[in-house]
A = this chain, B = another copy of it.
Amino acid sequence: MIETPSLVDQHCHGVLRTELGLGTFEAQLGRGEGPPAPGTTFFDTQTGFAVRRWCPPLIGLEPHCPPARYLARRRELGVLEAGRLLLRGSGITTYLVDTGLPGDLTGPGELASAGAADAHEIVRLELLAEQVADTSGTVDSFLANLAESVHGAANGAVAFTSVAVPRGRRALAAEPPGPGEVRGAVGRWLAGRQVGGELTDPVLLRHLLWIAVASGLPLQLHAGAADPEGSFEDFARATAGLGTDLVLLGTYPHHRAAAHLAGVFPHVYADLGSALVRTGARAAAVLAEILELAPFGKLLFSSGAQGLPELHVVGAHLFREALGRALGSWVADGAWSLTDAQRVAGLIAAGNAERVYGLAEG
């Protein structure tokens, strides 16, 4: 009843280019700091069950067939063809691709081609700074090159993304660090760092966030496990009215607090991604919770997928089913009109993202 002909995946990553065995595939389903516990498997999760529900039919198998059988068929098709079948079966029409993850992942162009869809890049701030550090010898050259890189990225990409919060919550201070503070932190970082070294200095993370805010491009913030109310509220207040939108990613199980912030601050938006993919059969219930406080113009679909095209599929299918179920039940109860429900579905599936990222303009 509720249709979403366009579907913008506003935050995802590429897919692995290599063939996967049962163990390497399973490892992509885990979200943790280690392997599955002895006697358990990451297939026994809502995500695992959702993959087994939605993906086998796209490669000619029965839903819920055993993982080993699914993987065998996947290898038989080859990683390229399996990827094409899966991505094209997702119904996603535009991918916004965060290219800041390590690993042999496809870029936006390949994802677009495999999925017969559009794709745009999202630039991860911390990786950008690390790449600049790899080629800058002095504080001055680092700062000049960083400014240039951010400027360049802002021209080619549709958004910035940052993992400053999971790397150190102090990064979300209500004002940028002073120039001297930044120079000192750059100097210490460059002096102690080896090529490829990760950026975790809170002053530099903070500096990056404020550079991004100044760029005017939407800024996607990974919440880690932080409660957005405690962590984001001061930053949101400090950046209100500056013309840059903030999009909160990965806020589950604090998604209601994220929805609250999206209602309080005009420039704050909430992502649906991992809240749906990780909760599987519960996606409609979780979506309904997010729809309590958030204005309907402030919510953005994503799959949050990385590594496996199966996760793009699951994200898209769970979203559409959840939306149909939640909004459909409110229409059936008379709480919403059908016209409103269809309009809101279109906003969350694509319209809000098109407006926030200027996708229709290009």
Contact = CB atoms under 8 A, between A and B. Distances in A.
* Chain A interface category by residue count: 35 or more
A168 interface: no
Nearest to A257: B253
Number of copies of this protein chain within its complex: 3
Contact of A41 (B265, B280, B292, B297): B297
**Which of A260, A282, A286, A292 has most chain B Cβ within 10 Å?**
A292
B45 A263 contact: yes
A39 B32 CA distance: 39
Contacts of A40: 295-298
A193 interface: no
A267 B37 contact: yes
Interface string A12-51: 0000000000000000001111111111111011100110
B278 A292 contact: yes
Contacts of A256: 252-253
A344 B295 CA distance: 33
Interface string A70-99: 000000000000000000000000000000
Contacts of A225: 229, 233, 257, 260
A188 interface: no
A91 B38 CA distance: 28
Given A32-B263, A40-B297, A298-B37, A46 B292 contact: yes
A36 B295 contact: yes
B253 A293 contact: yes
A291 interface: yes
Given A53-B335, A335-B53, A266 B44 contact: no
A330 interface: yes
25 contacts: A31-B264, A32-B264, A33-B264, A33-B265, A34-B241, A34-B266, A37-B298, A38-B266, A44-B295, A44-B347, A45-B263, A45-B295, A49-B336, A49-B340, A64-B337, A225-B229, A253-B257, A253-B260, A253-B293, A278-B292, A279-B292, A279-B293, A281-B333, A281-B335, A281-B336
Given A44-B347, A49-B340, A253-B260, 11 more contacts: A34-B265, A40-B296, A44-B295, A64-B340, A253-B256, A253-B293, A279-B292, A280-B335, A281-B336, A282-B288, A282-B291
Shortest 9 CB-CB contacts between residues of A and residues of B? A40-B297, A253-B256, A281-B335, A64-B337, A279-B292, A32-B264, A44-B296, A37-B266, A281-B330
